[in-house]
Amino acid sequence: MENTRQQIINLLEEANEQYISGQQISNCLQISRTAVWKHIKELEKDGYKIEAVAKKGYKILEAPNKLSANTIQWGLHTNWLGKHVIHKTSIPSTQTLAQKLAFEGADHGTVVIADEQTAGKGRLNRAWFSPNQGIWMSIILRPSFLPLQASQLTLLTATILAKSVEEVTGLTPSIKWPNDLLIQDRKVAGILTEMQSEHDHIQYLIIGIGMNVNQNEKDFPEELHSKATSIQIESGKEWDMRIIIQAVLQHFEKQYDHYLQKGFSTVKEIWEEYGYKIGEVVTLRTTQEEKQVTLIGLQEDGSLLIEDSGTRHPLYSGEIIW
């Protein structure tokens, strides 16, 4: 059903604000005109405003101001990413559902998205506060590269989120290595990359994205007030999350394909433009000691390049005290 309705939305969109007759839709989709009418009525129940004029046909006037598989795909210009969208009103975790679907054979580029997560998770099994008014999304990928490259996709995704937020909202985030987006030193988005693999083969990889969009200060627990922010808090206005989601997906497809063709160098360059505290001194805590180091940028493999007592080397373990 959803596939047919999405095809109808695509036909209405391609008509470029002109009418398209029920007969044309019927012919294109090989369904009856009665079936076309029923699907139009279901789309209207979903919140679409569609004008029907005798002897002219149908014209889409407005998409609903809410998330659904249909609204996300309407106006989404991608070739393979987001062709299958699964939307849930409330779910424990989009990552958990995406893993189940990937195990069952879900296609490369499948997107799982929810209005609310009741058990959202971040890195190291940390809880992720994810109520309504945010973007909680997981992307299923089936890449052909080696498992050791998977960490580079976290960095790639961070650059995509930074570019998308800046393009849509005008705000310029910073990327805190390896997986957080900050605005004014407070976290606005995070990334969780998980995969199922063998020694030299990735069966599937899931990119989880959490972004605070339309929350107010009062929407966050008190313990997060100094740590978390939202796009609305920083910009002073409410945003259409569908536009941000589409920007992320469109940038993701383009940059992912470029990464497969050209490698990590462009990702490294963009990441360093947004890198948090690059060129600054921070405290590095290891199992043996705490010491002051300077953040230089990224290595070609995606590890963090630091300078310690005049010597530069990659950081593979340890905790940075930001």
Q: What is the dihedral of CA 89, 186, 272, 154, to 10 degrees?
A: -30
- 4-62 under CATH 1.10.10.10, yes or no: yes
Domain 69-274: CATH superfamily is Bira Bifunctional Protein; Domain 2 (3.30.930.10)
* Separation CA 110–CA 179 (nearest Å): 22
Report pLDDT for 1: 47
SS (H, E, C) 119-166: CCECHHHCECCCCCCEEEEEEEECCCCCHHHHHHHHHHHHHHHHHHHH
Per DSSP, which regions of 30-81 are E strands? 49-53, 57-62
- Reading the chain (322 residues) residue by residue, the pLDDT tens digits are 457 887 898 888 888 778 999 999 999 999 999 999 999 998 888 788 999 999 899 998 887 778 888 889 888 999 999 999 999 999 999 999 999 999 999 999 999 999 998 887 665 556 656 678 999 999 999 999 999 899 999 999 999 999 999 999 999 999 998 889 999 999 999 999 999 998 889 999 999 999 999 999 888 888 888 899 999 999 999 999 999 999 999 999 999 999 999 999 999 999 999 999 999 999 998 888 899 999 999 999 999 999 998 999 998 777 888 8
Contact 208, 94 (CB under 8 A): yes
Enumerate the β-bridge partners of residue 206. 140, 194
Q: Do domains 4-62 and 280-321 have the same CATH topology?
A: no
Report pLDDT for 305: 95
Select from 44, 280, 95, 120 the least CA-distant residue to 205.
Answer: 95
CATH fit for domain 280-321, picks 2.30.30, 2.40.30, 1.10.10, 1.10.3470: 2.30.30
* Separation CA 100–CA 198 (nearest Å): 18
Q: Which helix (H) or strand (E) holds 233?
A: helix 231-235
Per domain, the residue ranges of the chain are 4-62, 69-274, 280-321
Confirm or deny that 187 is annotated as ligand binding.
yes
**CA terminus-to-terminus distance, the chain:** 49
* Separation CA 258–CA 254 (nearest Å): 6
* Separation CA 145–CA 165 (nearest Å): 28
Confirm or deny that 262 is annotated as ligand binding.
no
